[in-house]
Chain A
Amino acid sequence: MSDVFLPLLVAIPIVLSVVPLIAGLRYERAGWPIAFVGSITVTAIAGYVAVTIASSGRLIHALGNYPQPYGIELVGDELSALVALLIAIVSLAVLLYARTAGPRGNAFYSGYLLLTGGLFGVALTGDMFNLFVFLEITSLVTYALVASDRTSGKAAYAAFKYVFLGTVGASMYLLGVGYLYVATGTLNMRDLQEAIASVGYGDPIVQAAFGFILVGFAIKVALFPLHTWQPDAYTYAPDSVSAYISALVSTASAYALIRITYGVFTQSFLEANDLIVTAILVVASVSIVVGSLLALMQTEVKRMFAYSSVAQFGMIVAAIGLANETALFGAILHLLGHGLIKAGLFMAAGVLATAYGARTVTDYAGLSRRSPYAVGGMTLAGIALIGLPPSIGFLGKWFMALGAVEAGAWGVAAVIFASTMLTLAYVFRLVEMLYFRSPSAARTDESAAVEVPDASTDGVAAPDGGSIDRVTVAQVAIVVSIGITVIALGFSWELFADYLDPVLGRFFA
């Protein structure tokens, strides 16, 4: 009977999302408590579902009791349970962070709940078209949240660009689903697995369907050269929103790509289509290298983290293309780890920006002395992003590189290694600034640099410079605990290996 908790995970946040707006007519500050109650509830349910799946195997819930394969079903297996848990935990952390950091207003909390519900839907659905609907719910709310900073026209323009690219991506996915439906006559994922096998992996319609779906998700997870929406959206969105969407929105799309590649098309499809695998590996490798290089070239911290995501998702997609168990295990670990790491990094950047007006790398000079805890949390998350042991980032990269070597794809292994070096370069540039530079030394550097410092931002930063402004203990505590968590998870690979064993067994039967 515990399968009824699956629809609750999706329904509770979506139903609750109307309440902040309605209650807001009467009580101005109603949004946060409502979102908090919803978030705590779904976190508890996600935890319970994850434990239940560990003991009694995957849960399947037929919505409305329609007979399969005609009705829509929600499927909770070990992989979706972990992703759901990540969504629940990061959502809760972001909510606690956003209480004082804003954006304020009940509309934000409505959007927040709707986004949470949509993300759970992506993680749990077992139907191809239903996945499209949840992806669009997620995207639409994301567009609105990115633009929720009312003082900045740049945010609105970033959201506008995102609307176009995101919708084209979703439409490509929809077209792929249409091709699959024409080829097989079904949309249920478990049913499609056999239907595609009987149509044949070499069938042009099936190949075209995979191609469209792949391009659609390449836009959604922001692979180079389809990443252009992402840096602007992450940079100009309010800090809480940046943390939330960088941690979860692309993650959910990458999860869906894993689910569709291995749960619907299966490993045999990849084995039968060398050209598609080569294309995935090439595009993903280019994305890794270019993303890392672009991250290295940025002066603005949030933009640097944004380009870093392009590289990390390139790695995950490359591991999907490698089509072996080790690489996919690494991809899943990195997917979960990257979500936590980026949430921590963007929140830390938010704390430093609120407190000291620091938004560029040079602004960060000497901040470790003024804000040791937030900077410590940021450094720990940075270490995990590089992939230094022990950290979750290390585990993910290690298993992906190991998988590349197992598959004989030395190029991919080399690219992962090179990207780690580049990540080391840009994260350590930040760490060096934070710990080993005094503010005055950096200031002379700045004036000596070719780039003329923007006078207007300098003027804003100076009055804020001395005092800590509107940063609460809770915000710093969240950053620090995420930093400690991503390091502590570095010891956990056996736990993940045991937990994910059944689902990897199904994917690589």
Chain B
Amino acid sequence: MTDGSVLGLITTRYAYLVVVFVATVGLYMMIANQNLVKKLIGLNMFQTGIFLFFITSAYVVDGSSAIVPADGAGGPFASPLPQVIVLTAIVVGVSLTAVGLALIIRLYAEYGTLRADALREVIADE
């Protein structure tokens, strides 16, 4: 563990800062952008931030991928479990994007707009 200064944080924990940055940008984009497709991209980015967090947690200094020979030699290995988890989570994320895009197509066919504020107005008038 290094010292708790800001410089120490930036030089040794930069991966976590990137994670927080990506997730926050995604969350902000999801809330602030009025375009439905961009909202969905924001949601994806938020999830990507979380996936990166898992990947970062699997990092081992000088670790190689966990392909263990019969005699058990080699190593140190990077932890394979978070990587498997992220693979599964990516699949979930892809399905989610598909459902989200399908709904956007439905909404566009129905109301002819991709903007959330316009959509809210039309639905309120209905």
- Rounded to whole Å, the gap between the CB of B116 and the closest CB of chain A is 9
- Closest residue of chain B to A162 (Cβ to Cβ) is B103
Q: Is the CB of A178 within 8 A of B111?
A: no
A163-202 contact mask (Cβ, 8 Å, vs B): 1 or 0: 1100110010011001001100001000000000000000
Quick one: which of A132, A133, A136, A160 contacts B100, CB cutoff 8 A? Answer: A160
Quick one: which of B46, B54, B88 contacts A168, CB cutoff 8 A? Answer: B46
Q: Is the CB of A160 within 8 A of B103?
A: yes
Q: Is the CB of B43 within 8 A of A164?
A: yes
User: A147 near B: Cβ within 8 Å?
Assistant: yes
Q: Is the CB of B92 within 8 A of A133?
A: yes
Complex CA distance for A154 and B124, rounded to whole angstroms? 10
Contact A153/B123 with A133-B92, A136-B92 known, Cβ cut-off 8 Å:
yes
Cβ of A140: which chain B residues have Cβ within 8 Å of it? 92, 95-96, 99
Cβ of B81: which chain A residues have Cβ within 8 Å of it? 181, 187
Complex CA distance for A132 and B47, rounded to whole angstroms? 13
Complex CA distance for A93 and B110, rounded to whole angstroms? 33
For window 320-379 of chain A, which residues contact chain B by CB distance below 8 Å? none
User: B17 near A: Cβ within 8 Å?
Assistant: no
B76-113 contact mask (Cβ, 8 Å, vs A): 1 or 0: 00000110010011001001100110111011001100
Q: Is the CB of A143 within 8 A of B30?
A: no
Q: Is the CB of B106 within 8 A of A147?
A: yes
- Rounded to whole Å, the gap between the CB of B112 and the closest CB of chain A is 10
B31-61 contact mask (Cβ, 8 Å, vs A): 1 or 0: 0000010010001001100100110010000
Q: Is the CB of B100 within 8 A of A163?
A: yes
Quick one: which of B47, B50, B107 contacts A153, CB cutoff 8 A? Answer: B107
Q: Is the CB of B103 within 8 A of A178?
A: no
Complex CA distance for A140 and B95, rounded to whole angstroms? 8
- Rounded to whole Å, the gap between the CB of B79 and the closest CB of chain A is 9
Complex CA distance for A208 and B103, rounded to whole angstroms? 34
Quick one: which of B82, B85, B123 contacts A157, CB cutoff 8 A? Answer: B123
User: B126 near A: Cβ within 8 Å?
Assistant: yes
Cβ of B53: which chain A residues have Cβ within 8 Å of it? 175, 178
User: A213 near B: Cβ within 8 Å?
Assistant: no
- Closest residue of chain B to A147 (Cβ to Cβ) is B103
Cβ of A478: which chain B residues have Cβ within 8 Å of it? none
Q: Is the CB of A178 within 8 A of B50?
A: yes
Cβ of A187: which chain B residues have Cβ within 8 Å of it? 81
Contact A167/B103 with A154-B126, A175-B53 known, Cβ cut-off 8 Å:
no
Complex CA distance for A140 and B123, rounded to whole angstroms? 24
Complex CA distance for A330 and B38, rounded to whole angstroms? 44
Q: Is the CB of B107 within 8 A of A132?
A: no
Cβ of A133: which chain B residues have Cβ within 8 Å of it? 88, 92
Q: Is the CB of B46 within 8 A of A160?
A: no
- Closest residue of chain A to B30 (Cβ to Cβ) is A164
- Rounded to whole Å, the gap between the CB of A441 and the closest CB of chain B is 30
Complex CA distance for A160 and B92, rounded to whole angstroms? 17
User: A159 near B: Cβ within 8 Å?
Assistant: yes
Cβ of B92: which chain A residues have Cβ within 8 Å of it? 132-133, 136, 140
User: B15 near A: Cβ within 8 Å?
Assistant: no
Quick one: which of B47, B104, B110 contacts A171, CB cutoff 8 A? Answer: B47
Contact A174/B95 with A157-B119, A160-B36, A168-B46 known, Cβ cut-off 8 Å:
no
Cβ of B110: which chain A residues have Cβ within 8 Å of it? 153, 156
- Rounded to whole Å, the gap between the CB of B114 and the closest CB of chain A is 11
- Rounded to whole Å, the gap between the CB of B37 and the closest CB of chain A is 12
Contact A178/B57 with A153-B110, A160-B104 known, Cβ cut-off 8 Å:
yes
Q: Is the CB of B107 within 8 A of A156?
A: yes
Contact A182/B123 with A143-B99, A167-B96, A171-B46 known, Cβ cut-off 8 Å:
no
26 of the cross-chain contacts (CB-CB < 8 Å) are: A132-B89, A132-B92, A136-B92, A143-B103, A147-B103, A147-B106, A153-B106, A156-B110, A157-B123, A159-B103, A160-B36, A160-B100, A160-B103, A160-B104, A163-B96, A164-B30, A168-B27, A168-B30, A168-B43, A171-B47, A171-B50, A174-B89, A175-B50, A181-B54, A181-B57, A187-B81
Q: A residues engaging B (CB < 8 A)?
A: 129, 132-133, 136, 140, 143-144, 147, 153-154, 156-157, 159-160, 163-164, 167-168, 171, 174-175, 178, 181-182, 187
Q: B residues engaging A (CB < 8 A)?
A: 27, 30, 36, 39, 43, 46-47, 50, 53-54, 57, 81-82, 85, 88-89, 92, 95-96, 99-100, 102-104, 106-107, 110-111, 119, 123, 126
Closest 3 CB pairs of A and B: A153-B110, A156-B106, A136-B92
Given contacts A171-B46, A182-B57, 8 further A-B contacts (CB under 8 A): A129-B85, A136-B95, A140-B96, A160-B107, A164-B39, A167-B43, A181-B81, A181-B82
